[in-house]
Structure formats: C-alpha cells, structure tokens
Amino acid sequence: MFDPAVSDQWWKNAVVYSVDVETFMDSDGDGIGDFRGLTHRLPYLSGLGVTCLWLLPFYPTPGRDDGYDVSDYYTVDPRLGTLGEFVEFVRTARDLGIRVVIDLVVNHTSSEHPWFQYARRDRNSRYRDWYVWVDERPEDEDKVIFPDKEDSNWEWDEEAGQFYLHRFYSSEPDLNIANPDVRDEIHRIMGFWLELGVSGFRVDAAPYLIGGTGIENEMPQDPHLILQDMRGFLSRRRGDAVLFGEVNLDPGDRETFFGDDGDEMTGLFNFILSGAVFTALARGEATPLAEHLRRTPSPPRTSQWLNFLRNHDELNLSRLPADEKDEVMAAFAPDQDMRIYGRGIRRRLPPMLGGDRRRLELAFSLLLTLPGTPVLLYGEEIGMGDDLAVEGRKSVRTVMQWTDGPNGGFSSKRDGDLAAPVVDDGPFRYQEVNVAEQRRREDSMLNRVERAIRVRKESPEFGWGAWTVLESGDPRVLVHRCDWLDGTVLAVHNLSGDDVETRIDLADGNRLEEVSDIFGNDRYEPLDLDDPRVPLAPYGYRWLRGRRPGTGTAL
C-alpha cells in the first residue's frame, strides 16, 4: 500500500496541529507561554498523533495584531524565549517525528519595523520603495478588511508627508512586493528559518501578498510568478518543504494558487469546505457537503487541500451564499455578540455544537476523513470552549487547559494577567475540561480523538486517494470513498439527529470485496456485500476498508 516514490510528500498523510506558543504552556511562571513550555509538551502532542506543528507568529512584535505585526523576522519574541530555545524545540520535535511549519507574514510589516522607520524618515532611503506611497489618497479603493477598526486602506504619515498602503490595520504598512529587493528579502527570511530546521511556511493572506493595489503598473505581468519563485527557492533549499497558503477566495480563483503544475502553494486551506461542513451541520443534511465535494477539483499531484473546522480567527462564512450564511449564523451564533465583521463567528466548535458529544465526534470524523489533510486547532482534542467576554477574534485564543489546578495548569503565576484568559466559568471551564481529567477516562473526548487520529494515519487513502461521493439514497447521509494504489476506504456519516438506515452503492464501478470496519461511533454488524445496508444512530459514523476485485487483502 505504501509507495516509496512519494514518501517525501509527507504532508499528504500528515495530521497538522495549530498552536500559539504564547497560550500553550508557560515554563517560567510569568504568565506567558514559551518555547521551553511547548518543548515540554511535545511528548503529549506526539502521543496524540500529531505529525506537524503549525506555529502562529512568534516574532518580536508591538502586539497590536496578535503577533501578525512583525517588527523583526530573524529572531524570537523575547517573551517567548530565545533563538537557541527555538532550535532546541525544533530538534526535539524532529526526534519525536513532528515537523514544524511557521507563519510567513510578509504582505506587511509592523509600522515599528526598522524598514518602515527608515522609509518614512527619508525619501532617499533604500527602504522607501519597500512600501507603497501616494501623495493623494485614491478615490476608489478595495473593500476594507476590518471595517470595525479602519475606514480606508490608506493612512497619512506626517513624517513621510505621504499616504501609505495598508490593507489590514494602519499599524501594518504593506510591503511593496513589486520591488525585487523585497522579494529577495523574503527569500532570505525563508532561507534563515529553513536552516534552523523548519519544514516550511504557512503563507499568511496569500492573495494580498501578490495583490497589486496601488502598484499594478509595477507588478510582473503575472503576479503568480512571485509565488512560483518562492516555491522554487524553497524546493532548491529543501526539497520536502512546504508552502501552505491562506487563500479564502471563490472556487475557480482559489485553485490558481496551486499553480498550473503544482508549482506554487503546496497546500491550500479549504475555507469553502469548512463553510459547507457547517451548513450541513446546521441543516442536519449531507447535501451541501456532498455537492461541494463533487464540485471540488482534485489538486495537482504535488499539492493538497488542508481541511479544518475552526482556526485561530473567526469562522469566515463570506464565501457561502447569503441564505446558507444566514442559516449557519442562526444555528451557531444566534446572538450578535457571537458574530464579527458581518461575515464570521467568533466561537470555538464545542460551544457552537452545544457541547453535544455526539455532534462533536461526528464533526471530528468528518475532519479526519474528508479528502485532504486535517488541521486541528489547539485544545480541540479535549473540547475546549471560548470566552466571549474577550474582544474580537481573541475569544477563541484562550490558554490551553491542562489540569484542574490554578490557571488550568497553563502557568504557575499567582497573580496578575495571563497571556490570554483562562476559561473558568460555564460548562467548558478548565476545572471540568482539561487534559489530565480526560487522560484518566477511557471514554473521554481526548482518548476518542487520539484513537481516531491513529486510524486516520493508518488510512493514507483519505489523504492520497482519488475521492468519489456515492449515492446514499438519504439526504441526511454522506457516503464517500477514497482509492489509492490497492487500498480503498469508505466513510459514512449521518448528519441528522435521527436514526437512519442507508444502502451503500457498491454496484458496477463501486464494487468491493471483503469490507471491514476500522472505526465508528459504535460496534456494528459486518456489512453484507449482497445487501450493503448501514444503520446509523443519530450523528453516527462508520469508517470501512474494502478490497477492490483483483487487488490485495482488505486489511
């Protein structure tokens, strides 16, 4: 079943875990998570089955945008540790079989970055053209991304005597990607961290990196050449390194970021799939998800879809049709305080699903079996909640809940603020939801997720295979299969709260032999291939392995 010729494409069967160093584990009692604390918790992540850690920004920053306002790309924020401790962390992760991918935030810098300070002070500075300046603010401009904080994409700078472009916050001036010196510097940044052992980068806001607002006449004829150059540089330096792209665009536009031959982004976060999952969960029907899968093109051979339920930002529903967005909002964010920017939900998954264990397990089963590579947000494996009292998107960035002790075991700090709030009220409070408590219970969410990840890693067809949505005969049930080499896996999901019985279509080209259960929400009778009916409890799921006629064994 394993093909050595593709073994370097490790991301195809990876389990990615997104973590914020600042909120994961504090080693020295100052209330801020750090690399020593994260290193200490690597065995936990290895035991969970994580094979790739995606780190949110850890660079020096003024802290006006949760670390995405970078003031130095070549070191670690001193609050989080030293460069030496970062290297020790990467080495330890590698010894445990965990690769490290870091955020590459190069569409803008902090306004406090030395490059911008040099640029604003002197029109003759070599850094002046590293940013985008105009004497008069353009009358026509693109949509403002954060309408609650900004009313324009251009900000007047008194010292420079000009307006500068910022498509995010005014404290984050855009870099002039049309300038070849800027592109060379991006390569140097990538090369620096590759030498320290990282396995690639998650490219923040990739469409804005090559979008030409204000610099259209200076850009290459095809801006995607910039991404091709980045991928080429990456491949020359380290052949198995990755570029994971944050690309939230409409179908047809998003796929262009793979490149014609898979020569741009190695992986794209599938925002539209995330929206389809939540539409299906809201309706209790599989139809929205099945329709999306049928429309989703297979990525190039060297690329991959990255699937997620929630991430560190809002659940962005901007790509859903208006009626579907309204449905999801009504189901999972009935109060205005749960919504943000008119397009998203600022809640974690467990509160959205009312803490219903059956629906949570169903959602994780979908995440781990939908075609592509699964990406988990830290704390999802134990069912962590959120804190809506915290402003904006920070509501989902609470500290990791390790024990029922002070500060949830995140920090030994006795008084004063932590890096982020600890959830100490309601059904998701750390006294009830924590790693230590769930480790002791065989039937806990943590142990269930760990087992599911293990079976997922033993089923590379989900990541590597060609997928087919099969007719289930019931709009509440999703049935899909993935085929790779001699292997075939099937996944059956009941999106509703009803008992159902569906019949899997195994006729003609779908024919299988020796079908065996490999995972599910319950123990089931073996499937009768002559009459392949599958009963499922409310929100039930079932993973099966089959053998195609003329191939090897099913197990």
Residues forming a β-bridge with 174: 108
Give the three-state DSSP class for 372. coil
C-alpha pair distances (Å), 58 with each of 83, 271, 462, 535? 11, 24, 32, 48
Residue with tokens 């690309």: 247
Give me 293's structure tokens.
Answer: 């899968």
Residue with tokens 């999972």: 332
424 in active site: no
Side-chain-side CA neighbours of residue 236 (13 Å): 9
Q: Tally Cβ neighbours within 10 Å of residue 281.
A: 24
Give me 371's structure tokens.
Answer: 């075609």
95 Cβ contact partners less than 8 Å away, ≥ 6 residues apart:
none
Q: Say how far apart CA 124 and CA 283 lie, in whole Å.
A: 59
| Cβ proximity of 198 and 100 under 8 Å | yes
Q: Say how far apart CA 519 and CA 543 lie, in whole Å.
A: 5
Q: Using alpha carbons only, how large is the chain's radius of gyration in Å?
A: 24
Burial of residue 366, with CB atoms counted within 10 A of its CB: 0-12 exposed, 13-18 middle, 19 or more buried: buried
Report DSSP state, residue 203.
E
The catalytic residue among 20, 34, 77, 204 is: 204
Report DSSP state, residue 297.
P
513 residue type, one letter:
E
528 in active site: no
The catalytic residue among 22, 65, 155, 246 is: 246
Q: What is the DSSP string of 303-315?
A: -EEEEES--SS-E
Instruction: Check the CA dihedral 314-315-317-318 and report its sign.
Output: positive
Give the three-state DSSP class for 84. helix
Which sequence positions are flagged as catalytic? 204, 246
